[in-house]
Amino acid sequence: MNDAPVLITGGRVVDPSRGLDQGLDVLLRDGVVARVDERIAAPKGATVVDAEGLVVAPGFVDLHVHLREPGYEYKETIATGTAAAAAGGFTTVCSMANTSPVVDDAATASFVVRRIRETALVRVFPIGAVSKGLEGKELAEIGLMKAEGIVAVSDDGRPIASGLLMRRALEYASMFDLPVVVHEEDPSLVAGGVMNEGWASTRLGLPGWPAVAESSMVARDVELAALTGARLHVAHVSTRGSLAAVRRARAEGVRVSCEVTPHHLTLTDEDVARSAYDTRFKMNPPLRDEADRAALVEALADGTIDCVATDHAPHHDDEKAMEFAAAPFGVTGLETALAVLVDSFVATRLLPLTRLVEVLSTAPARLFGLPYGTLAEGAAGDVVLFSTDRWTTFSSFRSRSRNSPWADRTLRGRVERTFVRGREVYAAGGPGVVTPASA
Amino acid sequence: MGEAAGTYKKVRLIDATGMQRIFARMARELVETVGGAETFALVGIRTRGVPLAQRLALEVERADGTRPPVGLLDITLYRDDLSTVASSPVLKRTEISFPVEAKTIVLCDDVLFTGRTVRAAIDAILDFGRPRRILLAVLVDRGRRELPIEAQFVGKRVSTSATEIVSVTFRETDGHDDVWLLDREAARPVRKRKAAPKGDGPRKGAPARRAAGPEASPAPRRKAAAGAPRRKAPRSGPKRRS
Amino acid sequence: MTRRPDAPSEPLASFAKKDLVDIGSLTRPEIQLVLDTAESMREINQRTIKKVPTLRGKLVANLFFEASTRTRFSFEIAERRLSADSISFSAAGSSVSKGETLLDTARNLMAMKPDAIVIRHQASGAPHFLARNLPCAVVNAGDGTHAHPTQALLDAFTMRRAKGRLEGLRVAICGDVLHSRVARSNVELLTKVGAEVTLAGPRTLLPVAVERTGARVVTRIEDAVDGADVVMMLRVQKERGGGLGFPNDREYFELFGLTPERRRLAKKDAIVMHPGPMNRGVEIDSSVADGPDSVILDQVEAGVAVRMAVLYLLIGASGDE
């Protein structure tokens, strides 16, 4: 922590944790936010970063990423995944447990925490499995993993089909105040579906994954959350029905939160049809219809949806270069999230900038009880600088995989610099290392 | 090629009356050589071999009392230059509703040039059976063969250069009977057209399929239209002036 | 002389396509060009020597990843009648998990420089995937539950020959629509050329939002057959789960089978079609399948002509300008 202080000058500071949105300077020193003020004189030896025309915000927090290590290092590693996070303005990510081996016991959690300490470029908090081997039968070592540092439990990638196991998971996790993150799908209704069931799936002749297979499970789980008083976090909501169930439960005081991905906010099953079976448009839950998409945007604006999470799910080109039904579900998202949201919602004024920063940073940090997502003095020196005017072309990725629907597309919005603990981990156009600003 | 009509040098080779005389003569020769109409059939090669075959059939009937059967042949699928054209030509129907077995088949085409169309037609006919023999009748033989093929019945022989185009029109297909010799090389407007009666030359938009028409006209003709090297071109027929 | 019904108002001079992967990518004049070309090909199939030299020196590879007899034979005959060299690869039941990926198989094949690949695959979209990745022509011979464009073209060819037109024809397509690529391609083609299509089947075997195809959708077969010019019965595709949409064959036949009584609801001169293979006594009564109105064998015959037309139009010429 002996890095030179960093003074970020002339930027528009947006910090929803304190209701700030004004031109201010930010001084990072000793890994924390030392001062936020109108004019700060550069301390001796400080690196000065000119943020004129840029937004300065608390670093983004992603509650839902797949870093694939251990076991699938050919898709992604903690090192490459966090490099991608830094490039996307994310300073904290929570990694899902569906690695190989699954993070379902203390030993594996401990190993992952050590790998994070050794190789991660941004902060990473592991999420432990709910059930052993994600099999949905017996509880994983939730208590022991909590001691190793997990921040939530989830069988993400797989649903918890058994209502009984779900009830036990909620009861058990609540003792440790860990949220249970649920991937909602009723496997008997999904029945092999590979895209949203609707007019597009009918035309493409692909097995449909009906919206009700998600919302019926959300309805069950909010009831169980009500019964147990535990914290339920619904991952990647994608349907109107799920939103209705969440709204209803929340009105009754149930402790339920939910997230949405940038792709469900911006793409639909018609994009699958237009792409003519491009597997970069295949993910789980699938892209829904336009009515669902519009409802998600509305719910993000009105607060029904708490935050945005990318569900960054890297896959190797060889795995995706397949017939649509045979290819794995999943798209990458860390590097594209900001530009996708700025391009679709900020540039078009559908979402205020402060809400954008809130759903990417302040809100998710609060949901998992993480002390980030704020530029309060003394808080972690995790900061992102981004532009809402400049364009990004996604021709290359820091992620080891490039299974993104936005690969080779150009969008408005660009992450310029990312700082973690007061140290620069990403600068647009440059290597993600500390570079003295030319000021 | 209609757009270039004004810049072609053109010479009329045969007019309507001349064509009628030629059909009558060819029909007499046919009957004399081959025998009665019941022993042979006429097969017109798409597109303008068809009206020739029909006219000859009429004339044979006039001379002999019986009209020989007429078949229609599209040779596209037998062309030797398909792999050199950009897109597959539209097919026209082949209609040969009589057995060719043991019959004399007289192939009819408007112009005999490289011989490649006739080669294709012979191959096509043989797929219908084994005729006793195959003969060839053409309205114009313009020389410049690329295959050892000769016509037994010829309306008119003309020596041509590779760049010249023989344009044949029929009442049935084009509204009037005419044969013209066009020269694309002579790009400058022709002042004097001695042989051409006023107002009756090939008009803008008038069919002149012996030019570049991809349909049913094999490659060498395209080459001619594209301007193959010029050679000494002796000529017969109306004198060509520039 | 043969009349040529439905002659296109504006005849097309060419067919500028690399692939035939679905009906959606064909315009109405292009459909008519294929059907007209197929008429010429049909004439060849009546000759003593049923072969033309058109595709000499061209190589067509038939990749059949899913069991098929009639379609594969039909393509192979079409290829041979046009003098193309053809090789056939049958890998029914083989799946990607067992070894080589589809892309690798196709790339290996490309090393042999085929001019066209004919592909039948259990995965919807597999032909699009190849078309995107390979330089040669790709012909879809049926992909999953998505499309079967040459079947729809041969069905249209058969209808046009029998009825003299397609526009305004009343066509009933009945049965397991959910799993039927034949139904999807037929509805797309027929609505495009102005026929009136009614789809009928149990609700469990009708895909969601199917009414958006432009077809009328009913659940009583009688309502579909009533007044129809063409009655097309679909095979119940038990191998794709079609059997789960109703209790048993007996009930299906009672409620949805084409019996002589139901056939009488259609026009007197109506034709009966089936893409095959048939489940006799399930979707169709044998006496109807083998009856005087049945054109089921004409469909098979039309298949060769239509596939000859498609291959000629796609790879007859060089394709370069």
CATH code (residue B12): 3.40.50.2020
Residues C52, B78: C-beta atoms closer than 8 Å? yes
Indicate whether A143 belongs to any domain: yes
A35 and A141 belong to one structural domain:
no
Indicate whether B2 belongs to any domain: no
> Using CA atoms in the order C75, C102, C23, C117, what is the torsion angle rounded to 10 degrees?
-40
* Distance in angstroms (rounded) separating the CA atoms of residues B207 and B167: 8
pLDDT digit string, tens, across residues B199-240: 343 333 334 444 333 333 333 333 333 333 333 334 443 333
A422 and A288 belong to one structural domain:
no
Hey, which residues does C143 pair with through a beta bridge?
C121, C147
* Distance in angstroms (rounded) separating the CA atoms of residues B57 and B42: 7
Indicate whether A151 belongs to any domain: yes
A398 and A279 belong to one structural domain:
no
Indicate whether B118 belongs to any domain: yes
pLDDT at A381 over 50: yes
pLDDT at B145: 95
Chain A interface disruption, residue of C119, C120, C129, most A CBs within 10 A: C129
A28 and A77 belong to one structural domain:
no
Q: How far is B9 from chain C (nearest CA, A)?
A: 29
Choose one of A332, A367, A402: the last residue of a domain: A367
Indicate whether B57 belongs to any domain: yes
pLDDT digit string, tens, across residues C138-188: 999 999 999 999 999 999 999 999 999 999 999 999 999 999 999 999 999
pLDDT digit string, tens, across residues B34-66: 988 889 999 999 989 999 999 999 999 998 899
Question: What CATH number did the domain enclosing A419 receive?
Answer: 2.30.40.10
pLDDT at C107: 86
**What one-character-per-residue DSSP string does B96-130 give?**
--S--TTSEEEEEEEEESSSHHHHHHHHHHHTT--
Indicate whether B214 belongs to any domain: no
Does B128 lie at the interface with C, CB-CB under 8 angstroms? yes
A333 and A225 belong to one structural domain:
yes
Does C42 lie at the interface with A, CB-CB under 8 angstroms? no
Are C186 and C199 in contact, with CB atoms under 8 Å apart? Answer: no
A46 and A116 belong to one structural domain:
no
* Distance in angstroms (rounded) separating the CA atoms of residues A304 and B97: 77
A240 and A310 belong to one structural domain:
yes
Residues B90, C317: C-beta atoms closer than 8 Å? no
pLDDT at C320: 59
Does C128 lie at the interface with A, CB-CB under 8 angstroms? yes
Structural domain count of chain A: 2
Choose one of A367, A395, A416: the last residue of a domain: A367
Residues of C in contact with B83 (CB under 8 A): 57, 317-318
Query: Which among C43, C51, C321 has CB closest to B93?
Result: C43
Residues C40, B93: C-beta atoms closer than 8 Å? yes
Question: What CATH number did the domain enclosing A114 receive?
Answer: 3.20.20.140
Q: What is the rounded average pLDDT of the residues C234-253?
A: 90
* Distance in angstroms (rounded) separating the CA atoms of residues A52 and C108: 55
Chain C interface disruption, residue of B46, B77, B122, most C CBs within 10 A: B77
Indicate whether B225 belongs to any domain: no
- HEC readout, chain A: CCCCCEEEEEEEEEECCCCEEEEEEEEEECCEEEEEECCCCCCCCCEEEECCCCEEEECEEEEEECCCCCCCCCCCCHHHHHHHHHHCCEEEEEECCCCCCCCCCHHHHHHHHHHHHHHCCCEEEECECCEHHHCCCCECCHHHHHHHCCCCEECCCCCCCCHHHHHHHHHHHHCCCCCEEECCCCHHHHCCCCEECCHHHHHHCCCEECCHHHHHHHHHHHHHHHHHCCCEEECCCCCHHHHHHHHHHHHCCCCEEEEECHHHHHCCHHHHHHCCCCHHHCCCCCCCCHHHHHHHHHHHHHCCCCEECCCECCCCHHHHCCCCCCCCCCCCCCCCHHHHHHHHHHCCCCCCHHHHHHHHHHHHHHHCCCCCCCCCCCCECCEEEEEEEEEEECCCCCCCCCCCCCCCCEEEEEEEEEEECCEEEEECCCCCCCCCCCC
Query: Which among C101, C144, C181 has CB closest to A322?
Result: C101
The C-alpha angle C127, C133, C136, rounded to 5 degrees, equals 75
- HEC readout, C188-218: HHHHHCCCEEEEECCHHHCCCCHHHHCCEEE
pLDDT digit string, tens, across residues A76-112: 999 999 999 999 999 999 999 999 999 999 999 999 9
A contact set with C (CB within 8 A): 197-199, 201-208, 276-277, 318, 321-326
Q: What is the rounded average pLDDT of the residues A390-402?
A: 96
First-to-last alpha carbon distance for chain B, in angstroms, is 21
- Phi, psi (deg, nearest 5) at residue C120: -115, 125
Residues of C in contact with A276 (CB under 8 A): 125, 128, 132
Are A246 and A237 in contact, with CB atoms under 8 Å apart? Answer: yes
A316 and A417 belong to one structural domain:
no
Residues C318, B95: C-beta atoms closer than 8 Å? no
pLDDT band at C102 (very low <50, low <70, confident <90, very high): confident
Indicate whether B208 belongs to any domain: no
Chains C and B, touching by 3 or more CB pairs within 8 angstroms: yes
Tokens 């009209």 belong to B67
Catalytic residue ranges of A: 311
pLDDT at B122 over 90: yes
ipTM over cut 0.95: no
Q: How far is A61 from chain C (nearest CA, A)?
A: 37
pLDDT digit string, tens, across residues A347-369: 888 999 999 999 999 999 999 99
**CA closest to A273 among chain C residues:** C125
pLDDT at C92: 62
Query: Which among B74, B78, B90 has CB closest to C11?
Result: B90
pLDDT at A148 over 70: yes
Indicate whether B172 belongs to any domain: yes
Indicate whether A234 belongs to any domain: yes
A127 and A37 belong to one structural domain:
no
Q: Which residue segment(s) compose the domain that A402 sits in?
A: 6-56+378-427
A21 and A138 belong to one structural domain:
no
A174 and A266 belong to one structural domain:
yes
DSSP C315: H
Q: Which of C84, C185, C183, C95 is nearest to C137 (CA)?
A: C84
Chain C interface disruption, residue of A268, A277, A282, most C CBs within 10 A: A277
Residues of A in contact with C212 (CB under 8 A): 199, 202
pLDDT at C5: 42
Q: Which residue segment(s) compose the domain that B52 sits in?
A: 7-187
First-to-last alpha carbon distance for chain A, in angstroms, is 23
pTM of the model: 0.88
Beta strands, E only, chain C: 59-64, 85-90, 116-121, 137-143, 170-174, 196-200, 216-218, 230-233, 271-273
Does C120 lie at the interface with A, CB-CB under 8 angstroms? no
Chains B and A, touching by 3 or more CB pairs within 8 angstroms: no
- Cβ-based neighbour number of residue A2 at 10 Å: 5
pLDDT digit string, tens, across residues C21-62: 999 999 999 999 999 999 999 999 998 899 999 999 999 999
pLDDT at C95 over 80: no
A209 and A267 belong to one structural domain:
yes
Q: What percent of chain A has a predicted confidence (pLDDT) above 70? A: 97
Structural domain count of chain B: 1
pLDDT at B185: 65
pLDDT band at C99 (very low <50, low <70, confident <90, very high): low
Choose one of A319, A342, A367: the last residue of a domain: A367
**CA closest to C25 among chain A residues:** A276
**What one-character-per-residue DSSP string does C211-251 give?**
GGGS-EEES-HHHHHTT-SEEEEPPP-GGGTGGGGSS-HHH
Indicate whether B14 belongs to any domain: yes
pLDDT at C184: 97
Write out the two tokens for B238.
């109306």
Residues of A in contact with C121 (CB under 8 A): 323
Q: How far is A432 from chain C (nearest CA, A)?
A: 35
In this structure, are strands A20-29 and A32-37 parallel, antiparallel, or unpaired? antiparallel
